[in-house]
A and B are shown apart, each in its own frame.
Chain A
Amino acid sequence: MPVNLTANAIAAIDAGDVNAKPLVQVLDIKLIGSSQERYRFLLSDAVATQHAMLATQLNDRVKTGRVRRGSVIQLIEYIGSTVQKRKIIVILNMETIILDCDVIGNPSVLELDSLPEKPLSSGPRPSINNSVAGAQNLSRTSYNNVKTSSSLNQGGNMQSFRPTVQPSYQPPPNYKNHGAIMRNEAPARIIPIAALNPYQGRWAIKARVTAKGDLRRYNNARGDGKVFSFDLLDSDGGEIRVTCFNAVVDRFYDTIEVGKVYVISKGSLKPAQKNFNHLNNEWEIFLETTSSVDLCPDEDTSIPRQQFSFRPISEIANAESNSILDIIGVVVTVNPSVPIMRKNGMETQRRILNLKDQSGLTVELTLWGDFCNREGQQLHDMVEAGIFPILAVKAGKVNDFSGKSIGTISATQLFINPDSAEADSLRNWFDRGGKDTASHSITKDAILGGMKNETRKCLTQIKDEGLGRSDKPDWIAVKATVSFIKTDSFCYTACPLMIGDRQCNKKVTKSGNSAWLCDRCNQEFEECDYRYLLQVQIQDYSGMTWVTAFQEAGEEILGCSAKELYVWKNEMQDDLKFLEVIQNCLFREFILKLKIKEEIYGDEQKLKITVVKADKLNYSEESRFLFDSITKRHVTTY
């Protein structure tokens, strides 16, 4: 049953009313846009019509058919915009009221001119709609759609936007690309950052600088250049990054200060580069020499200083590797800063600390470079003094090398004891007992977290059940006693250089008489690392077998590092100490997680068993495990 559309809705929006939330009808929907999908609606209020652009976050509504031609919709959030004297509505939020409806009223569709369009991009025009090809087909409501695609120049240069809708009965305007155009110089209205888009006529935003990037110089095929970026936050919580190149850098670099509020206008909007820009905005502002940046000296308390969206540590365990997020937690441990050699030969600092939050989980946070000496040192001193500060991290990167951990990137910002509700509640929780609750690290355990419940088997089952013979290795857990360790060769010389987050660890060879050479990193260095490569014989009640243990398992079994053992044996000739260490671990029981795989060596099949993890027995847990086995197997006879 036809409903009444809001009378004069179109005129009202054109006059600047953005609060009326009118009912309008969608007469047409067209998909346009060369780099990005954009939908353009033709809206009617039963009398007048106007084009409207749908914000990309609503694209799904068209794709899933929740709004179609004929739908009656209510505009919830929208802006009227003028681009080169054409009026366009930008729809930021809408609701479909009636999905299918005949055309209501008698809307007069504006006549389109058949202005031959000057192609602005030299590339081929992407074909959007089959109906456009037959451009001369006049439909019942009599309008043509002339090629619209390349008018949305992805360069975002406002001057070259050529919409095809024109006010009726006017001779086609004769705009060229570079003509002198009279512009309305009245100050633009301040709009929320969330409403910014390249189709906005003139805009101005008022926001606080939350981060200012470094001035970076670069050199590419086009020559030298310099660039810097800064991030803005407005009172609605909208955020956007602003970038300046070359001459524009000189104009604005010194003016911009973190924490101050500015009114910015006359920049251009382009799609944000998601690789570097982690703000929640699909656009990025590029300032030109004609842009204006005005400092607001009055303190605007409606604009927050920083905006975070903290994730609890429990969610990080499931976060995607390399994703960027904000976290907040209590700093429970701070390790010393260590120099790390990067692959390019440059040395940097790394410091690892642990954060804990109300979920009882801890996560490792790796600080790189300057963070180690600045915030890292400060945090270290505080923890040494017994104060456990709250640390908020903005834009940390998730790493999944060993469980999940967070690392700093150049865009990261650290805040010690920030003034926020989350910080206060963390402080309260920690001081009132959170400090003593058991912590479980998502960084260490998680490497086997998913596999924590390996099936427990006895050693003879490995052979009996033919483990390791299929294409994939078998993973089991055994409780076994170490009965022998081969001591002639218990470690190897390893490459200490870092490749990204991990150590290279490849075996290195001696080059010359004092240096070591790594083939993978192609570098030489004085000091190599020593890593365990142990051949261990283990036994349990059923039988025995040989296994190989690497660094972490080796350290757990022997109780000291490979380097220490190496020094005792080879350099200090302290055989006694060496033997003592070995003896101490013999006949000790461990829970060993084994990876079993049969491999072909030459023409022989050999079973390779590696200790992935070695754990000392936790008697309580083990008792419970045994009780469980007892009750499972035992059938009560009375």
Chain B
Amino acid sequence: MDTSNPAAFVNAELLRMYVGRRVRAVIQVLRNDGGSIFGKSTDEQELVIKGQPPNPLTTFVEVIGIADSNRSIQAEIWTNFGDNFDVSSYNTVCQLANGDFKHLFI
């Protein structure tokens, strides 16, 4: 297992700390344009995810890729997370994983 380039759990606010680096986020799909999607992060802000979304695409999707700005991610891996997702729990995980427990993750 290649642990050389771990993806950090991010929401919109944490994304800017990882510009240029590998991140992962769960996004609620708002609009699907084929080449990119507009989605809502787990802290309720709009992000752009570039790449090839899978077909079909469920309401929630996890993307892993490189953050290319503080509002967008170039996604390499897409995983459908279904239509029911506890957004607030995920958001708390992002905060803990980048805060007190960062040493457990990165």
Which A residues are within 8 Å of any B CB, using their own CB? 619-620, 623-624, 627, 630, 634, 636-637
Q: Are B100 and A623 touching (Cβ within 8 A)?
A: no
Given the known inter-chain contacts A620-B86, A623-B86, please indicate yes or no for A634 contacting B92, CB distance below 8 A: no
Which B residues are within 8 Å of any A CB, using their own CB? 86, 89, 92, 96, 100
Q: Are B89 and A636 touching (Cβ within 8 A)?
A: no
CA distance A10 to B89 in the complex (A): 77
For A623, what are the chain B residues with a Cβ–Cβ distance below 8 Å? Answer: 86, 89, 92
Interface of B is mostly: helix
Q: Are A620 and B89 touching (Cβ within 8 A)?
A: yes
CA distance A619 to B86 in the complex (A): 9
For A634, what are the chain B residues with a Cβ–Cβ distance below 8 Å? Answer: 100
Q: Are B89 and A627 touching (Cβ within 8 A)?
A: yes
Given the known inter-chain contacts A634-B100, A636-B100, please indicate yes or no for A627 contacting B92, CB distance below 8 A: yes
Q: In the complex, what's the smallest C-beta–C-beta distance from B90 to chain A, in angstroms?
A: 9
Q: In the complex, what's the smallest C-beta–C-beta distance from A630 to chain B, in angstroms?
A: 7
Q: Are B100 and A624 touching (Cβ within 8 A)?
A: no
Closest to A637 in B: B100
For A624, what are the chain B residues with a Cβ–Cβ distance below 8 Å? Answer: 89
CA distance A620 to B92 in the complex (A): 12
Closest to A623 in B: B89
CA distance A636 to B95 in the complex (A): 14
Q: In the complex, what's the smallest C-beta–C-beta distance from B18 to chain A, in angstroms?
A: 21
Q: In the complex, what's the smallest C-beta–C-beta distance from A631 to chain B, in angstroms?
A: 9
Q: Are B89 and A630 touching (Cβ within 8 A)?
A: no
Q: In the complex, what's the smallest C-beta–C-beta distance from A1 to chain B, in angstroms?
A: 70
Closest to A631 in B: B96
Q: Are A630 and B96 touching (Cβ within 8 A)?
A: yes
Q: In the complex, what's the smallest C-beta–C-beta distance from A626 to chain B, in angstroms?
A: 9
Q: In the complex, what's the smallest C-beta–C-beta distance from A95 to chain B, in angstroms?
A: 58
Q: In the complex, what's the smallest C-beta–C-beta distance from B20 to chain A, in angstroms?
A: 26
For A620, what are the chain B residues with a Cβ–Cβ distance below 8 Å? Answer: 86, 89
For B96, what are the chain A residues with a Cβ–Cβ distance below 8 Å? Answer: 627, 630
Q: In the complex, what's the smallest C-beta–C-beta distance from A617 to chain B, in angstroms?
A: 13
Which 4 A-B pairs rank lowest in CB-CB distance, beginning with the nearest? A623-B89, A620-B86, A627-B92, A636-B100
Q: In the complex, what's the smallest C-beta–C-beta distance from A415 to chain B, in angstroms?
A: 40
Q: In the complex, what's the smallest C-beta–C-beta distance from B92 to chain A, in angstroms?
A: 5
For B89, what are the chain A residues with a Cβ–Cβ distance below 8 Å? Answer: 619-620, 623-624, 627
